[in-house]
Amino acid sequence: MNIRKITLKDLPQIHRLGEKVFTLKNYPNLYRVWDESEVAEFFVNNRQSCFVAEDKGKVAGFILSYVVQKKHIKYGYLVWLCVDEEYEKQGLASKLFDEFKEFMKNEGIRTVFVDVEKSNERALGFFRGKGFCEPKEQIYLTLYLSDGDKNEHK
């Protein structure tokens, strides 16, 4: 298994794997939409902080993230972590994360953020095991802009 930064040739495989994993059935409260523009945007704007796990030419998993640099702060944001079900329970997510974490440290980043659905115990356990702490609860609200939708959701 080879962990490396993403390349242009990885994008179709990353997209297909994300479509397979990030479904409304698996994640009914997913507030980001998985689509080809999501993958392309990370590649164009943030490829230095995005990684794939490759097994014999196949993308077995990936991390898509970005770095925010403001005047007085620099932090990392892990947006997508995905492992193909064929490779689950082999430590692949951990290897991907460790490579990502080392990159962030080398960039001088002291804080990394990740969103996890409150009911996703598996992901919460993984990230706690990787040293994440102090979970904060957030509430996401929805505004329906058409009159028909407004009356249906009262």
| Per-residue pLDDT tens over the stretch 99-115 | 999 999 999 999 999 98
**pTM of the entire structure?**
0.83
Residues 46/87, Cβ–Cβ less than 8 Å: no
CB 67 within 8 A of CB 46: yes
Report yes or no: 48 and 5 within 8 Å, Cβ to Cβ: yes
What are the two backbone dihedrals, phi and then psi, of residue 80, each rounded to the nearest 5 degrees?
A: -130, 125
Measured CA distances, 43 to 12, 48, 94 (Å): 12, 8, 22
**Domain interval for residue 15:** 2-152
Provide the pLDDT confidence category of residue 26 given band limits of 50, 70 and 90: low
**Structural domains counted in the chain:** 1
Chain segment 39-79, per-residue pLDDT in tens: 999 999 999 999 999 999 999 999 999 999 988 889 999 99
Residue 132: give its domain's CATH number: 3.40.630.30
